[in-house]
Chains A and B, each alone.
Chain A
Amino acid sequence: MIPAPFDYTRVATVEDAVAALAGAGEDGKVLAGGQSLLPMLRLRLAAPTMLVDLGGVAELRGVRDDGDALIIGAMTTHDEVVKHPLVREHAPLIAQAAETVGDRQIRHLGTFGGSLAHADPAGDLPGVALALDAVMSVAGPGGMRDVRASEFFVDYFTTALGPGDVLVSVRVPKLTGWTTHYEKFHQMAQSWSVVGVAAAVRRSNGSIAEARVALTNMGVTPVRAHGVEEALAGAPATADAVATAAARAADGASPLTDGVASAEYRTHLASVLTKRAVMAAGGL
């Protein structure tokens, strides 16, 4: 269908974006790659009166090295993220997950920041950001502030971003000495995760020294599988130990039953996929 009427402005700086949003009040919305927002407008599930297009804001795009972390601009497209040498070297988990997003056209338009701001429980990047302890840099009416991933994802399609806020960039700590894997489960090649598991593992000698596991679509927000992380810390790097730990994947999670899957199936998948993700991450 055709969206309800709206005003549109294309800004050149973050400052202008924040100002434009302030002028629009509650009914303004940021337009990034449009891959999630436009379908909602076309189905008339959302009807903002002002769209602030960030497509022309050069400072929001690109990846840079910041010592012990990478800074990924919010408007960096999935495709750019997938191919970026810094990402591939220091945060391959992000590249691997971003490569599973939709299809090629979507990856060329959709953005890293848009995925996080949209906070779709089935989206693949929020769980990855959570696993990597990423920190979001946000510009708003009151200036700049940082929000940790663990506080950024608040509820179903809801983040710590207020109506006047712009997500500027994401700081991703480099994981040196870790190996990672994103295990996405979906029936159709171009669809969202039924459940996804982001795993990062640090091995030492014959055991797993530390692990981080975050789950996609096991609740209204991405969740860390703390039970699994605890069980893996110091555990032998064996299939049996991983399977035992993975059995706790859904502890504390509240998966939804929706048109795609039941909570029961998701709970089961969380364990199976966690086992596979940790095994793959740990090179087992």
Chain B
Amino acid sequence: MTVTEQRPGGEVGRDRRRKEDARLITGRTAWTDNLSLPGMLHLAIVRSPMAHARITGIDVTAARGAPGVVDVFTGRDVADLQGSMPCVWPVTEDTVLPAYPPLALDEVRHAGEPVAVVAARDRASALDALELIEVDYEPLPVVLDMEEALADGAPLVHDAAGTNRCYTWILDSAQAGTGADVARMEAEAEVVVSRRFIQQRLVPAFMEPRSTVVDPTGDQITMWSSTQVPHILRVLLSLGTGVPEHKIRVIAPDVGGGFGGKLEVTPEEFIAFAAARRLNKPVKFTESRSEAMLSAHHGRDQIQDITVTARRDGTVTGMSARLLANMGAYLGIITPGIPILGAFMFGGIYKFPAYRFECTGVFTNTTKTDAYRGAGRPEATFALERIMDELAVELGLDPLELRRRNWIERDEFPFTTAAGLTYDSGDYAKATDRATELFGYDALRQEQAARRAAGDTVQLGIGVSTYTEMCGLAPSRVLGQLRYAAGGWESASVRMLPTGKVEVVTGTSPHGQGHETAWSQIVADQLGVAFEDVEVLHGDTRASHKGLDTYGSRSLAVGGIALVNACRRVVEKAMPVAAHLLEADPADLEFTDGAFRVKGAPGAATKTLADCAFAVFQSHDLPDGVESTLDADATYDPENFSYPHGTHLCAVEVDTETGMVKIRSYVAVDDVGRVINPLIVDGQVHGGVAQGIAQALFEEARYDEDGNLMTGTFVEYTIPSAADLPDLVTDRTETPAPGHPLGAKGVGEAGTIASTPAVVNAVVDALRPLGVADVRMPCTPERVWSTIQAARAANGGELR
């Protein structure tokens, strides 16, 4: 169920079907792997079967002689050519930045690390030849557990670093001057609740495996890649390999999902780049699904020690979070920064005064971690919303009531939190009231009480999650303070074609979000042209050289402002032309309903932008000083983050005999500001919630004690399908973002951020009478069952 509002006459606010979907759904499009260039060679990669080992020899002789094989090379063979993988977010001055060769040189540090490459005339020959390569490994001790990795005498992932500690990053509200002292709050508190939560490791599991084609034969070396970040990739390829930036062109054609998993610059891209230069021929590398599971970066993987302090009346006074964050064996482009993106969110929607956050990044012999939908914020929101429920139990309060007593009221915005963020807007009460109404909160609580009293084997649990998040990454100034190497602005260009059609170039890089549709709707309203008359170009550094791509729910929140500003400039540029055509004074004109007209003269002649565009194209008769173009660019750097919020409620039924959890109902009321396209927003919420539920109930990447990935296929790594998910009830409140000309906030990650704690809170709530105080994620049937067993054993336990 959805509430849709359509503003009369406008495109913005309309449920537009997505322009791009026909080609995406049928696959009749330029996926990277569909590309075939004359003379193109196919690459296949030998990957380490060991989590930690010294390479003592590689024999490629047999593979070189195999049918169809053109070249075989190792890291040593391309040591000068391959460059080094960059990390652009050393979060502290002393962050350990280990060398990260795309192809291993002497040592491998996680299972799946690339060791040698075959280039062959076809893909099958390349894969067959892999089996002929003999690599000798001398096993080295493996460290997988973060606490073990930090202990004295632990095996080192990087000998040269002398430690497995990557960094320790601290935010203390007393020291930062943004709030009170947590230690004092703990000393004075009437109630203190501490918990350890585990954020399991997840696989982003994008639908399209990564693929890269490199053509070195033109003036520029062209790379097509299934990436979220073509612009960042171009800069980092240049910096990492020394090839001048203007000699590189990067194209992200249609990309089949990313979820942060393609917010990366990958060893495979560098390897393909090196191979193309070495062979001076086009090459393609497309990974298999198993390679994606093993080697594309993972997400989450934190140990969270959380303490919350409160008064007996339910007033929360402080919060402290100590994290260990698993980096894996190497640092991806923003690996260290992911938990730091969460550092500012442990306050959620609450106004407690004291806050301390400390995170230590830890190297282990596992696949590196990096961005995964929500990136740091789901982890923070989970810990916060879980411990709020624990505090509610401690205080004997309803979990919603505890939240009500602590949240920021509608009239308290802008509100500066103890973490130092200034929230621009929100109405938490309104979203929560709407959610409880749709959910039937009171009736469900009554049913729960009845089932508890009856000792039903199937218990009912109700989970609450109220959240806000910071997205719309990001104010460049803040990124600089956080030692991130790039800015957070975004750009847009609008080109008026002679026939009145419009080409829009965006620096964002959609990979399934529907930007072409949303951008067209915005432009249609801004310029008074038809939705169909707008073409949105993206993802090719030749068409759009300027941009910072798509992640962090930023494209509309930041790129949308650049787009509106560019449109406004087009209108400004057209004004004197229109005035000339109307034989009026520009000062007397206005641009309304898609046309220029003399103010206050209804029924008088009008000129459209198309009229102006054609006049400019002809340029036979332009006023003095008017350029022969209406095209305009804009770049926008946000002042602040975007703060969507909402309330998610989940009811689960837990079969206490088997441990099976079934979601009975799920309500999501989100406030993402003004909505450009409700259909797209619903899609984002649905997908986001699905991924959050997946973390709560289904997914976990697991290693065995030797560091082999145990969940290397979709048989073991169980992502839910539609059949595993409930019907979602979604609704919205609309609190427009004050700083945004469209009033829009980010929506891409909200569902993922909100949903995981709602589900786990519900599971724990169902089992509370059995003495259960936590269930580790994912709450699989066996884990739920063994948690119940343990609780029963501990308290001799019947129901209650």
Tell me the A residues contacting B by CB distance below 8 Å.
1-2, 4-5, 43, 103, 185, 187-191, 194, 259, 261-262, 265, 268-269, 272-273
Residue from B658, B698, B782 within 8 A of A262 (CB atoms) = B782
Q: A265-B782, A265-B785 in contact; A190/B124 too (CB < 8 A)?
A: no
Are A1's CB and B785's CB within 8 A?
A: no
Taking A4-B128, A43-B290, A265-B785 as contacts, is the C-beta distance between A259 and B721 under 8 angstroms?
Answer: no
Decide if A189 touches B124 in the complex (CB within 8 Å): no
Q: Which 4 A-B pairs have the closest CB atoms?
A: A189-B723, A1-B288, A265-B782, A272-B657
Contacts of B780 in A (CB 8 A): 187
Stretch in B562-570, B710-718, B734-742 touching the partner: B710-718
Pick the residue among B131, B288, B724 that contacts A189 (CB under 8 A): B724
B786 within 8 A of A: yes
Question: For residue A268, which residue of chain B has the nearest CB?
Answer: B785
Q: Is the CB of A5 within 8 A of B128?
A: yes
Query: Do A272 and B698 contact each other (CB < 8 Å), given the known contacts A2-B123, A189-B724, A265-B782?
Result: no
The listed residue (A5, A43, A188, A262) touching B721 by CB distance below 8 A is A188
Nearest A-chain residue to B781, judged by Cβ: A187
Residue-wise, chain B 669-708 has the 8 Å CB interface mask toward A (1 for contact) of 0000000000000000000000000000110001000000
Q: Is the CB of B128 within 8 A of A191?
A: no
Sample (12) of A-B pairs whose CB atoms are under 8 Å apart: A1-B127, A2-B127, A4-B131, A185-B658, A185-B660, A187-B660, A187-B698, A187-B780, A189-B723, A190-B721, A259-B702, A259-B711
Say whether B475 faces chain A, with CB atoms less than 8 Å apart. Answer: no
User: Do A272 and B720 touch across chains, with their CB atoms under 8 A apart?
Assistant: no
Say whether A272 contacts B658, CB under 8 Å: yes
Chain B residues near A191 (CB-CB < 8 A): 715, 718
B124 touches A2 (CB 8 A): yes
**Do A188 and B698 touch (CB < 8 A)?**
yes
User: A1-B290, A2-B124 are contacts. A188–B720 as well, Cβ < 8 Å?
Assistant: yes
* CB contact list, B744-789 vs A, under 8 A: 780-782, 785-786
> Which residue of A is nearest B786, CB measured?
A265
Contact of B716 among A1, A189, A259, A269 (CB under 8 A): A259
A194 to B781, CA, bound (A): 10
B544 CB, min distance to chain A CBs, angstroms: 35
Q: Which residues of B contact A (CB under 8 A)?
A: 123-124, 127-128, 131, 288, 290, 657-658, 660, 697-698, 702, 710-711, 713, 715-716, 718, 720-721, 723-724, 780-782, 785-786
B residues less than 8 Å from A190 (CB atoms)? 721, 723
Closest to A4 in B: B128
Cβ distance A77 to chain B, nearest Cβ, rounded Å = 20
Q: Which residues of A are found within 8 Å of B720, using beta-carbon distances?
A: 188
Which of A187, A190, A268 is the most central at the interface, judged by chain B CB atoms within 10 Å of its CB? A187
A185 to B710, CA, bound (A): 22
**A268 vs B656: C-alpha distance in the bound complex, in angstroms?**
12
Which partner residue on chain A sits nearest B725 by CB separation? A189
B727: shortest Cβ distance to chain A, in Å? 15
Q: Could you list 8 further interchain pairs (A-B, Cβ under 8 angstroms) beyond the known A1-B290, A188-B721, A259-B716?
A: A187-B718, A190-B723, A191-B715, A259-B710, A259-B711, A265-B786, A272-B657, A273-B658
Measured between C-beta atoms, what is the minimum distance from B296 to chain A in Å? 16
Shortest beta-carbon distance from A247 to chain B in Å = 13
Which one of B697, B710, B780 has the greatest number of beta carbons of chain A within 10 Å?
B780
Report chain B residues within 8 Å CB of A272: 657-658
> Which residues of chain A are near B128, meaning CB under 8 Å?
4-5
- A88 → chain B closest CB, angstroms: 23
Cβ-defined contact, A43 with B713, below 8 A: yes
Which residue on A lies nearest to B713, using beta carbons?
A43
- How far, in angstroms, from A211 to B697 measured CA to CA in the complex? 36
From A103, A188, A261, A265, contact of B718 by CB (8 A): A188
CA A2 – CA B44 in complex, angstroms?
11
Give A191 Cβ to nearest chain B Cβ, in Å.
Answer: 7
Question: How far, in angstroms, from A5 to B721 measured CA to CA in the complex?
Answer: 33
- Whole-angstrom distance between the alpha carbons of A269 and B128 in the complex? 43
**Alpha-carbon separation in the docked complex, A261 to B128 (Å):** 35
Contact A188 B724 (CB under 8 A): yes
Bound form: Cα–Cα A268–B124 in Å: 46
Docked Cα-Cα span, A188 to B717, in Å, equals 11
A268: chain B residues at CB < 8 Å are 785
CA distance A272 to B781 in the complex (A): 13
Interface residue from A2, A261, A273 paired with B782 (Cβ < 8 Å): A261
Complex Cα spacing A265 to B790, Å: 13
**What separation, in Å, do the CA atoms of A185 and B681 have in the docked complex?**
35
A4 to B125 alpha-carbon distance, docked (Å)? 10
Q: How far is the CB of B775 from chain A (nearest CB, A)?
A: 14
B residues near A4, Cβ cutoff 8 Å = 128, 131
Q: How far is the CA of A153 from the CA of B660 in the complex (A)?
A: 30
In the complex, what residue of chain A is closest to B658 when comparing beta carbons?
A: A272
Residue of A nearest to B126 (CB): A2
**Across the two chains, which residue of chain B brings its CB closest to A1?**
B288
Alpha-carbon distance between A271 and B786 when the two chains are bound, in angstroms: 16
Q: Report chain B residues within 8 Å CB of A187.
A: 660, 697-698, 718, 724, 780-781
Kindly report which residue of chain B lies nearest to residue A269, judged by CB atoms.
B658
Report chain B residues within 8 Å CB of A43. Answer: 290, 713
Q: Which residue of B lies closest to A266 (CB)?
A: B782
Q: With both chains docked as a complex, state the minimum distance between the C-beta of B291 and any C-beta of chain A, in angstroms.
A: 8
Residue among A194, A265, A269 facing the most chain B CB atoms (10 A cut-off): A265
A197 to chain B, nearest CB (A): 12
User: Which B residues are in CB contact (< 8 Å) with A269?
Assistant: 658
B654 to chain A, nearest CB (A): 13
CB contacts (< 8 Å) of A194 on chain B: these are 781-782
Q: How far apart are the CA atoms of A262 and B131 in the complex, in Å?
A: 34
